[in-house]
Amino acid sequence: MTKRKMFLRMITASLLRRRSRMLIALLSIAIGATILSGLVTIYYDVPRQMGAQFRSYGANMILLAKEGQTLTADTMQKALDVFPEEQLVGATPYRYVRLDMTSRQQSFTTAGTDFDEVQKTSPYFSVEGEYPREDKEILVGKEIADTIGAKAGSYIQLTWRPSVTVNENASDDWIGGAKLSGSAEGFNAGIVVVEAELDDEGRIARLTIDASSQTPEIGGQVGTDKNFQSRFIGKKLPVTLGEDVDAVSGATISSQAVVDALNNAHSITKGTAAAERSGYFSVTGILVTGGEEESYIYMKLRDLEDLTQDKNLDVAELSISANAEQLEKYVSEIDKADTGVMARLVKRVTRSETAVLGKLQALVFLVTVVVLLLTTICVSTTMMAVVSERRREIGLRKALGAPDSSIRAEFLGEGMFLGGLGGVLGALLGFVFAQVVSVNVFGSSITFQPLLLPVTLLMSMLIAAVSCLLPIKRAVAIDPALVLKGE
């Protein structure tokens, strides 16, 4: 029999025949290792999992069209390519249009969107009733619903009016006697509406301007200032602001809107002009958010496209589960890419998330450190107790002529075996624990960190070895005679 065989035989005997003590030591190491691997797994997973929770604050990035470009479903999809699938929580397209509610002579901002994505990017939306599922179903903001008395189940007729409408009697080439009307966006998205009659030579003969959407006393003056209106009489279309006519002082934007409305009307011929379209929509739910969304109507993007015959988007809201640094990186990637789309961070959300998430991670980190420290000491004391118990055996072995190094090797071998076994057990149990936490707290599973197995193993072997060494060192230092004599 070789020495090594005897060494193994002694350790096996010690492990098997001192079962209860060994179980105590093993249990203690396994607990320590469980806590180690469990907490470390949680610590690494917290940012990801918590980040997902923070997505309940809604979008943290928006996509817009670059100047002179358009945002469409296609370009949006291209821009989304920069995100790894698991980080993209949701991407919601929005198209905002004002639609008239036929029965009340009022117009409301209506958003065309994708309701599946809305629920991902705006989880705080609370719907009394249900989200629309079929075509021609809409959500109505609470404020509108209160005003018009709509409930889930109501029907509403909404009409889209093209910004330019052409009088039925107008002739194809805009020669004399034609009547035309048009509208254009003025200050703060308010619509300015004009109606004009042209004389036989195609000059403006009569003009009425409705600028009630503009700020009274400022932009509103373009509707009330007779002097301004008179500047257009006798001018041929198209007209240029500043050359053909001067703006009302202090109301440049509203003045420009009047000019735009006239030019729009002029540039569109009768044959190609879009006719107004309308449809009946059934209300499936009332939207409550406590914010400005309560004054909007939401419908499917396709329904809105059917009304407007226009596939452009105004904005896309993205909810991305990533830290501030990554978000910045994605923004610059999207801006650089040649898709005509630019990205902006929603600062209020990203800023706060970085701050709070940082604190949370620091919290879990400190807790992990404290728990690990105390657990390590706990494991050590147990191991020390188990080894101290064998002082007399150490004395005997010394008396039999065992060199200190050999005694150390035996006890360390045993301790490290226990450490290894406890480590493997603990690493697996820890993963189970982390998984239970993750499923219970965050409702999602975690990925197994393969690196954690060897780390836990090494750590527990190290802790076991160190906590064995101390009592061994003490026992070895004592004269065997004293140990053997003492009762």
How many residues touch other proteins (CB under 8 A)? 124
Phi, psi of 153 (to 5 degrees): 105, -15
- Is the peptide bond between 238 and the residue preceding it cis, with omega within 30 degrees of 0? yes
The answer to the question of residue 455 lying near other proteins (CB under 8 A) is: no
Give the separation between CA 37 and CA 47, rounded to whole angstroms: 17
Q: Which of 284, 217, 226 is nearest to 251 (CA)?
A: 217
Choose, by CB under 8 A, the member of 157, 406, 435, 449 that binds other proteins: 406
- Min dist CB 339 to other proteins, Å, is 22
Q: Which is nearer to other proteins, 72 or 319 (CB)?
A: 319
199-233 burial, b at 16+ Cβ within 10 Å, e below that, comes to: eeebebbebebbbebbbeeebbbbbebeebbebbe
Choose, by CB under 8 A, the member of 69, 240, 381, 445 that binds other proteins: 381
SS3 132: coil
Choose, by CB under 8 A, the member of 37, 40, 46, 76 that binds other proteins: 46
Choose, by CB under 8 A, the member of 206, 236, 329, 359 that binds other proteins: 359
What distances in angstroms separate CA 456 from CA 429, 449, 464, one per listed residue?
11, 11, 12
Q: Which is nearer to other proteins, 197 or 314 (CB)?
A: 314
34 HSE (CA, 13 A, CB side): 12
CB 260 within 8 A of CB 184: yes
Phi, psi of 330 (to 5 degrees): -65, -40
- Return the residues of window 206-245 that contact other proteins according to CB under 8 A: 212-213, 215-219
The answer to the question of residue 24 lying near other proteins (CB under 8 A) is: yes
SS3 152: coil
Choose, by CB under 8 A, the member of 8, 175, 275, 356 that binds other proteins: 356
The answer to the question of residue 432 lying near other proteins (CB under 8 A) is: no
Q: Which is nearer to other proteins, 38 or 419 (CB)?
A: 38
The answer to the question of residue 139 lying near other proteins (CB under 8 A) is: no
The answer to the question of residue 9 lying near other proteins (CB under 8 A) is: yes
Which span (4-12, 232-240, 273-281, 445-453) binds other proteins, by CB under 8 A? Answer: 4-12
Choose, by CB under 8 A, the member of 14, 72, 229, 467 that binds other proteins: 14
Tell me which H or E stretch contains 436.
helix 404-437
Q: Which is nearer to other proteins, 178 or 190 (CB)?
A: 190
Hey, CA dihedral for 34, 37, 40, 43, is it positive or negative? negative
Give the separation between CA 261 and CA 273, rounded to whole angstroms: 14
- Return the residues of window 72-131 that contact other proteins according to CB under 8 A: 105-109, 122-126
Choose, by CB under 8 A, the member of 63, 80, 386, 457 that binds other proteins: 386
Spell out, one character per residue from 151 to 180, where the chain touches other proteins: x when CB under 8 A holds, - when not.
Answer: ------------------------------
The answer to the question of residue 149 lying near other proteins (CB under 8 A) is: no
CB 234 within 8 A of CB 203: yes
Q: Which is nearer to other proteins, 198 or 211 (CB)?
A: 211
203: which DSSP letter? Answer: B
The answer to the question of residue 144 lying near other proteins (CB under 8 A) is: yes
